[in-house]
């Protein structure tokens, strides 16, 4: 990891207000993976702002400890996050490491046995913007009831290192509705944040926009070799973070 420097980031929400976030930005030439800890901190601050605003409107976020239904959904992560999580899984201390690696292998095996593995990889390689197809694979995945490999007794085992989509996903509806997310009778009210940082990260290579690249978290180990073969650009760390936030702001929800 490169050296870091405390940097104050100013996020302007279309002139409505500003959020100042202090992060440890990588110094010198860095890869996108090096900036992930700083981006996680930005995400936490942005999403906390949303939660506070919702609470002020009488619509508090209802997610909490032990509520793990979302950890059984098809969790989609950017390639840098997938590679980070694969390495994190391999670096876990025993006996937890063996259990987590085993759950990754079991998840891939269950997908293959169900005839979904090849189609799932194809959907994210060639049809990532086909939302009808995405909804189909989401439902097929949900029906298998596969836990996130990092889920341990209903608790995230890598909470501090969880990807952006996990930080971003929240609901204001009753938690029990999330266990029936694909049921017409269960009304799940998802939180919409002012910045879709998870989506932006999947379409950013470290220097600028790229073709969206994402994959299911459960396939991070299976596709680890492929991810290692995709080196991204290296640029100045603070500049990289600034470029990413500029790119993410292009999809500002409040301005649509």
Q: What is the pLDDT of residues 190-240, one digit of tens each?
A: 999 999 999 999 999 999 999 999 999 999 999 999 888 777 899 999 999
CA dihedral (142, 147, 151, 156) in degrees, to 10, reads -10
**Which of the four pLDDT bands, split at 50, 70 and 90, describes residue 252?**
very low
Q: Which residues pair with 235 in a beta bridge?
A: 30
Query: Residue 15: its pLDDT value, please?
Result: 66
Compute the distance between CA of residue 146 and CA of residue 68 in angstroms, rounded to an integer. 12
**Which of 63, 48, 44, 56 minimizes the C-alpha distance to 171?**
63
Compute the distance between CA of residue 41 and CA of residue 167 in angstroms, rounded to an integer. 10
pLDDT, tens digit (0-9, with 9 covering 90-100), for 76-92: 999 999 999 999 999 99
Does the predicted model carry a pTM greater than 0.95?
no
Residue 75 has pLDDT above 90, yes or no: yes
Query: Residue 186: its pLDDT value, please?
Result: 87
Q: Domain residues of the chain, as ranges?
A: 4-255
**Which of the four pLDDT bands, split at 50, 70 and 90, describes residue 97?**
very high
**Per mean pLDDT, which range of 4-8, 21-25, 62-66, 129-133 is the poorest?**
129-133
Residue 42 has pLDDT above 50, yes or no: yes
């Amino acid at each position: 990891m490169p050296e870091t420097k405390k940097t104050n980031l100013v996020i302007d929400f279309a002139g409505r207000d500003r959020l100042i976030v202090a992060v440890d930005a990588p110094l010198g030439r860095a890869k996108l993976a090096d900036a992930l800890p700083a981006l996680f901190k930005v995400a936490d601050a942005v999403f906390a702002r949303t939660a506070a605003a919702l609470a002020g409107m009488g619509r508090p976020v209802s997610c909490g400890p032990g509520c793990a239904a979302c950890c059984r959904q098809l969790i989609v992560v950017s390639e840098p996050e997938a590679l980070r999580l694969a390495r994190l899984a391999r670096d876990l201390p025993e006996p937890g490491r063996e259990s987590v690696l085993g759950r990754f292998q079991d998840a891939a095996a269950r997908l293959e046995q169900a005839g979904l593995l090849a189609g799932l990889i194809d959907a994210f390689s060639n049809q990532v913007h086909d939302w009808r197809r995405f909804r189909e694979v989401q439902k097929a995945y949900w029906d298998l009831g596969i836990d996130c490999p990092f889920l341990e007794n209903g608790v995230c085992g890598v909470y501090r290192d969880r990807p952006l989509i996990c930080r971003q996903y929240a609901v204001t509806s009753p938690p029990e509705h999330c266990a029936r997310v694909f049921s017409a009778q269960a009304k799940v009210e998802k939180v919409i944040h002012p910045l879709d940082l998870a989506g932006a990260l999947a379409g950013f290579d470290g220097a600028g926009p790229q073709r969206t690249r994402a994959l299911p978290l459960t396939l991070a180990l299976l596709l680890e070799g492929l991810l290692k073969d995709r080196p991204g650009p290296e640029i100045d760390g603070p500049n990289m973070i600034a470029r990413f936030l500029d790119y993410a702001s292009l999809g500002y929800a409040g301005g649509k």
